[in-house]
Amino acid sequence: MSTSALRLDVVLPIFNEAGTLAASVRALHATMEELMDFPHWQITIADNASTDESAAIAIQLANDLPRIRLVLLPEKGRGGALKEAWLTSKADVVAYMDIDLSTDLRALPPLVAPLLSGHSDIAIGSRLAHGSRVVRGAKREALSRGYNMLLHGVLGVSFSDAQCGFKAMTSKSARALLPLVKDNAWFFDTEFLVLAERAGLRIAEVPVDWMDDPVSSVNIGSTVRQDLRGVTRLSWNLARNRIPLSDVTEQLGRKPLVQGTSLPFQLVHFAIVGVASTIVFSLLYYLLQFVLTPQSANFIALAISAVFNTMVNRHVTFGVRDRSSAERHLLQGLLVFATTWLLTSGALALVHTSAGNVDPQRDLIVLTIANIFATVLRFVAFRFMFHPEPPHTTNRECRLTRLELLSA
């Protein structure tokens, strides 16, 4: 990176922050002058449709202090403000932090260091990483941990804290990734992190000291609803391969993460999917047994739950997202389904033969137990089916390589 070019742009997204804006900007400005070991940085105030005196105060700050940029947006939305400010910045690295400065500013240099060096593409402050020190109420602590557990379970992410307002990324990564991010509000952070990880970008985490703002204007209920809708939308689009992440990989020159996941990860996620599949099967069988024979109800319920189980495990548990192998995996999944159907049907037939009558509640218990055994069998089969094939070299390639060595 050039030493004369703008290296770092720290964005402060604001909405009706007239009471704290001046003090926070002056504090950040003074801290950056003290901590940054290079002069080529600036602070951008991104006002997203404030209705108080925030814009006027921001203009005054830009006149009073050097290296202050102002972006005025007509529409409200923190994500939209960040997207606009980051994409129009001329800095090598763009960052942002919440205007309340809840995060200790001494974490800023280690946050941007791996990006300025070229080691990483994105860096995030984490309140849940080892070494972080956090002061906040029990309610927000529980919500934060619960939300990140949801992301780990549903989207299979590896980063620890999606919503800490202390992040940075290279401008090259921003230009490639942010056009794919649809949310312009609070889910913006989660969405660009999930997409970045799926595209193979390297994400660095920095433990932070963080103190909750007791007068925060964030509406927790509304934010939770927005995040849940965002998780649902993003999960669906990723499962359907509707997001062109390969374009991001090509632009940034990084290969995507190696297909496949670790055994502990697979066990945890397969168990979660297995519980969900068992619940789906049990509910379907309970409803269908009143209109169909036990064997027919079992077949239909098992078929539907097996399709659900196979598709979710393929994408989430085993990390297979290549469309070229989808048909082969579908056929293999049908064979696994047939095996598990024989297992559960055999259990049901054995109970009917030994008992001599049909008892819906007893049949449900027997089939649920048999389905658990079938799930174990399915896991073993799936590990074999979805195991990524190692790259191999053809005989022709081997011959060409030997000829090249001989002629060298």
Q: Report the catalytic residues.
A: 189
List C-alpha distances in Å: 159 to 126, 257, 331, 362. Answer: 9, 14, 34, 44
Q: CA–CA separation, 122 vs 179, rounded Å?
A: 16
d(CA 159, CA 298): 40
What is the enclosing helix (H) or strand (E) of 280?
helix 263-288
Contact between 151 and 157 (Cβ < 8 Å): yes
Q: Which amino acid, 299?
A: F
Alpha-carbon distance 367 to 347, whole Å?
Answer: 7
Question: Residue 379 corresponds to which amino acid?
Answer: F
Our CA angle for 14, 20, 25, nearest 5°, is 75
Tokens of 135: 């002061």
Tokens of 196: 């970045």
